[in-house]
């Protein structure tokens, strides 16, 4: 079983003992992406901007792995406030443009760097 570590400077570096993504046997496993704005290195206060950035960061990692959002099989969304669900859901739907993968969404007590949303995914590679 071949295992390839995927890393790109177009998405935030891992902030712990993990990697941005691992590709193995035709599947890409992308670690949770916070809403860092790669042009500033900051996480905006607005949950909508965080969601957009999180998805952009996932997209950058997918491109580095040679795949794209149409190949996403499953996502998991973590929210610190389920009151933000509708806002994030709208941005998420626009991002996938009808290529909707399976999904789970969880409320969590907190996220690193005081993020409001984090999204991870599994895709065909």
Which domains does the chain possess?
3-124 (3.30.1330.40)
| pLDDT given at position 15 | 85
Banded pLDDT at 2 (limits 50, 70, 90):
confident
Residues 91-123: tens digit of each pLDDT: 999 999 999 999 999 999 999 999 999 999 999
Residues 14-57: tens digit of each pLDDT: 988 999 999 999 999 999 999 999 999 999 999 999 999 999 99
In three-state secondary structure terms, 50 is helix
Tokens 């902030």 correspond to what residue? 15
Question: Residue 8 in contact with residue 20, Cβ under 8 Å?
Answer: yes
How many CB atoms are closer than 10 A to CB 51?
25
What does pTM read for this prediction? 0.96
**Span 65-82, mean pLDDT?**
98
Sequence-ordered list of residues with C-beta below 8 angstroms from that of 31, at least 6 positions apart, any chain? 14, 18, 19, 20, 21, 120
| pLDDT given at position 105 | 98
Q: What is the spatial distance between Cα 31 and Cα 15, in angstroms, rounded to a whole number?
A: 11
């Amino acid at each position: 079983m071949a295992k390839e570590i995927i890393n790109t400077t177009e998405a935030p570096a891992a902030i712990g003992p993990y990697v941005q993504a691992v590709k193995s046997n035709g599947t890409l496993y992308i670690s949770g992406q916070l809403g860092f704005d790669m042009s500033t290195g900051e996480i905006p206060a607005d949950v909508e901007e965080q969601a957009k950035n999180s998805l952009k960061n996932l997209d950058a990692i997918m491109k580095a792995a040679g795949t794209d959002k149409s190949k996403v099989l499953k996502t998991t969304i973590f929210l610190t406030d389920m009151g933000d669900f509708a806002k994030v859901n709208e941005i998420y739907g626009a991002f996938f443009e009808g290529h909707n993968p399976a999904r789970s969404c969880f409320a969590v007590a907190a996220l690193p760097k005081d993020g409001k949303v984090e999204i991870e995914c599994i895709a065909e590679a």
